[in-house]
Chains A and B, each alone.
Chain A
Amino acid sequence: MKPLVLTTAWLIARKDLAIEFRTRTAFLSALVFALLGLGIFRFAWDPSAVSAIDLAPGVLWVIFTFSGLLGLHRSFGVEHAERAIDGLLVAPVGREAIFLGKALANLCFVAGIQVIAIPAMAVFYDLPLGRPLLVLFAIALLAAVGLVAVGTLFSAMAVNTRLAELLLPMLSLPFFVPVVMAAAQSTTQLLIGRPLAEAWPWLKILIAYDIVFLTACTLAFPYTLEE
């Protein structure tokens, strides 16, 4: 059964990415938001008072959180429009596969933003490039998994409620806090040149969070569907 779940999940993820690529609106607006945010935050602070390295990690993670939400929002909207979700549910595919497929597509979305925004930040904020940047991508991916696991589940729930645009951020943001904290802190360690071992406690929290919530949200997903 296992390989079948992953194949189906990949199929659904590809479908979602094809739809997103066709319209591009969500990705482009999230990207523009991220880049604008990087710029605005830089100007909001007095550069002589706050160094770029102090500012960067916090800014980066605030931006990823909010632009991620833009992408998460449309995740189940596309299934809700013409009850396409019914088509998925009638088919002989497991509910877990549907969730994982959606989450995978969202992960690609967030990772796509990160791949562009992190180098942009390095340029805007004049940060050291090279090895730290690669490790930063790894941390970003780890954090993205956690964000996407929770965000996909809440997106599935929010789409069936009256206040969808309000509820998704309202429910998700408290859950994002440990992820954002751990990611920002380890990013800071990295940028000021501390050895990776010092950021390890934060990375442990990130990994534990990813495992716990990816499992919990996959298990909870069937309960969010009509019965």
Chain B
Amino acid sequence: MSSIPLRDESARGTADALAPSPAVIQRPIFDWLFVLAMLGMAAAYVRAIYFTPLEATQGAAQKIYYVHVPAALGAYTALTVVALMSLVYLWLRDERADRLAESAGEVALVFLTVVLTTGPLWGKPIWGTWWTWDARLTLTLFLWFVTAGYIVLRGAIDEPGLRARYSAVLGILGALLIPFIHLSVYLFRTLHPMPIVLKPDRPSLPTEMLVTFLSFVAACTLLCAALIRARYRYGVQRDALVALEAGDR
């Protein structure tokens, strides 16, 4: 990972103090956080597959749970970052807050997709059905729609200030929406009891499984942070390039 070659220095003469001026646009050769996260994930996987006992009733399929739940946690973390950074941006108008929200939003979408794909994969052998409108899956589905909307909105606006403002508004409104979706789905299910399905997502885990679960939580959190940070750095470089090109005009 080398530095991006800067244009001819003289072209920067007219760009004044307002331009972001990364004197050296350089990515570290070794993204240690990312490597650590990947090692953590690999270790957790190995532990899950080989060193954790099979669950009595569900068998091997239960092991998807180790990915499904931590991915959900990662998604919620990333979405919290989006909501907070949206507030910070509208308050301080600091483009770094917007960039961080953008990075967290994309990472959240990835994690949400993982949750939505592992859910049915787990559900089919266990519940006999690909999908169930239980509270968490439904909320996750709508979070996915809102986050996808967030990404599409950003893609549809060229002007950075407008894009940041609109994304921030959507971020905050999305955060306000979540309790309402949760309440509605909860009320729906209370009034329309669905067939009881085995809900093994909150069992009391024996120690072995608990350790595996926690190592996945740790690894996913690390991965979430690493991905957001890597995506943020890409955002810094991309914005610097755009500013350079604009200044050259």
Contacts and interface: CB of A to CB of B under 8 A. Distances in A.
Interface in B181-204: 181, 183-184, 187-188, 191
Given A162-B158, A167-B153, A174-B145, 17 more contacts: A161-B157, A163-B152, A163-B156, A167-B152, A170-B149, A174-B146, A177-B142, A177-B184, A181-B188, A185-B188, A205-B183, A216-B173, A217-B173, A220-B169, A220-B172, A223-B169, A224-B166
A201 B187 contact: yes
Interface string B153-180: 1001110011001101110110011001
Closest 4 CB pairs of A and B: A161-B156, A178-B180, A178-B184, A174-B145
Interface in A125-167: 150, 153, 157, 160-163, 166-167
B188 A174 contact: no
Contacts of B168: 223
A175 B177 CA distance: 7
A61 interface: no
30 contacts: A150-B173, A153-B169, A157-B166, A157-B169, A160-B162, A161-B157, A162-B157, A163-B152, A167-B153, A170-B145, A170-B152, A171-B153, A174-B142, A174-B145, A178-B180, A181-B188, A185-B191, A202-B187, A205-B180, A205-B184, A213-B173, A213-B176, A216-B172, A220-B172, A220-B173, A223-B90, A223-B165, A223-B166, A223-B169, A224-B166
A150 B181 CA distance: 15
A182 B90 CA distance: 32
A54 B226 CA distance: 50
Contacts of B152: 163, 166-167, 170
A150 B162 CA distance: 19
B184 A224 contact: no
A205 B187 contact: yes
Interface residues of B, number: 29
Contacts of B180: 178, 205, 208-209, 212
A227 B184 CA distance: 37
Interface of B: 90, 142, 145-146, 148-149, 152-153, 156-158, 161-162, 165-166, 168-170, 172-173, 176-177, 180-181, 183-184, 187-188, 191
Interface residues of A, number: 33
B65 to A, nearest CB: 27
Nearest to B165: A223
Contacts of B166: 157, 160-161, 223-224
A174 B138 CA distance: 11
A227 B156 CA distance: 19
A226 B161 CA distance: 9
B182 to A, nearest CB: 9
A227 B93 CA distance: 12
A142 to B, nearest CB: 14
A220 B169 CA distance: 7
A171 B151 CA distance: 11
Contacts of A181: 184, 188
Contacts of A177: 142, 181, 184
- In this complex, the member of B145, B149, B152, B161 whose beta carbon has the largest number of chain A beta carbons within 10 angstroms is B149
